[in-house]
Structure 1
Amino acid sequence: MDVANERTPSAWEERIAADPTHSTWYVERFRKLAAQGEDIVGEARLIDAMLGRGSRVLDAGCGPGRIGGYLHTAGHTVVGVDVDPVLVEAAIIDHPGPTWLVGDLAELDLATDFDAIVCAGNVMTFLAPSTRTAVLSGFANHLAPTGRAVIGFGANRGYDFPDFLTDAESAGLTPDLLLSTWDLRPFTDEADFLVAILSRAH
């Protein structure tokens, strides 16, 4: 029995299957924004502000490396994981230094723990719903005792905020702070975006 073939594809994988050029478009989009001087690392600045120099960071769903690349330049030890090999190849080319890996976040098994895990870019909403709790449990298992996971995604993308927070709790993660933007605006019931800062339940 081929268990790998039984895995439910993520929304990202379904998008790539429907349009094989999407990954390349995504890479070029962020390269163009960076070349135009746009701010594409706001998430990374929040993470950097939470950490001492030389911290261990997991960029979960790293895409083409914009967040992990910035954090590496800021002096942190970064591992980035993404299911899309095209995006990981772009990360290796554009942001040398971190360890970039092709992998499924639902099967995360790294031989280290992290002071911070960042999961940005609506990654949580691209996961197969059946794997969400496994991904969050993997985050909890890879956090250092005082580490924190920071997860951000938008509303109306198929993963309601209350459901996410319930899943996080069941995975062993406790909310420390909820924000509505990466620039630290407080979360409200009307917010259309959530940035959750979570720690391991003790």
Structure 2
Amino acid sequence: MTQENLWLRNVEQNPAHSQWYINRFRAMAAQGADLDGEARLIDAMVPRGARILDAGCGPGRLGGYLAGRGHDVVGVDIDPALIDAAEDDHPGPNWLVGDLAELDLPARGVAEPFDAIVCAGNVMTFCAPSTRPAILRRFRAHLAERGRVVIGFGSGRGYDFDEFLVDAAKAGFNADVLLSTWDLRPFSPDDDFLVAVFSIA
């Protein structure tokens, strides 16, 4: 695992960071906040019983929702504390500790490709810049031929949208749809958030 990963650096500098993040989303859920916008979009894009990879799953809110809708979900996150929270709060999916830059699920007994891969929550911007192209290639290798990858993150976080789209094209993806929100608002160059829907080129 690379130590350039911003999430790991945050945890190293503040060992309570992971628990703060877990508690934040637990509190929001308890207050009735709508935490399922990303998951609803993915659910609408796939058939019932789809195989879905929640890449950078955190404490499991997205993958847990999708599993509750009958999908076969695998969640991967680099932080063991977040995976423990996902197992506690959202039993059902296959939650795994792993580095997306080294993603090799067949080696861990998860052989079938995915109908959808979702990477939400600014995950790509936490990953080391040197690993981002490799992560996109790993997503491509794990995707079913007619599957789609959906990635969302904000601007000003060290990964320029144009650079990201070039990296995705080099990894073998077509950008089918570009949105500015998870609720289907079209993307424009002035927007500060991007949700990109990719298919295999």
Q: TM-score range by the shorter chain?
A: over 0.9
Structure 2 residue identity aligned to 1:65: G
- Deviation by residue 1:21-62 (Cα, 9 ceiling, x = unmatched): 000000000000000000011000000000110000000000
Aligned identity (percent) is: 65
Larger mean Cα displacement after TM superposition, 109-118 or 154-163: 109-118
Paired positions, count:
196
Q: Quote the Cα distance in structure 2 between the aligned partners of 1:88 and 1:121.
A: 15
Q: Does 1:58 align with 2:53?
A: yes
Q: TM-score, normalised by structure 2?
A: 0.96
Corresponding letter in the other structure for 2:99: D
Q: How does 1:1-202 map to 2 (within 5 A)?
A: 7-110=2-105, 111-201=111-201
Unpaired runs of at least 5, structure 2: 106-110
Alpha carbons 2:178, 2:187 under 8 Å: kept: yes
Distance (whole Å) between structure 2 residues aligned to residue 16 and residue 171 of structure 1: 30
Q: Which moved more, 1:9-18 or 1:83-92?
A: 9-18
**2:118 aligns to what SS in structure 1?**
strand
Give 4+ residue runs of structure 1 displaced > 4 Å after superposition. Answer: none
In the aligned structure 2, how far is the partner of 1:100 from the partner of 1:52? 22
Superposition deviation, residue 8 in structure 1: 4.1
**Alpha carbons 2:53, 2:74 under 8 Å: kept:** yes
Distance 1:24 1:199 in 2: 35
User: What is the deviation of 1:159?
Assistant: 0.3
Q: Which blocks of at least 5 consecutive residues in structure 1 are unaligned?
A: none
Distance (whole Å) between structure 1 residues aligned to residue 198 and residue 3 of structure 2: 27
CA contact (8 A) 2:3 2:9 kept: no
Partners of 1:8 and 1:130 within 8 A in 2: no
The whole-number CA distance in structure 1 between the counterparts of 2:16 and 2:200 is 38
Contact 2:54 2:62 in 1 (8 A): yes
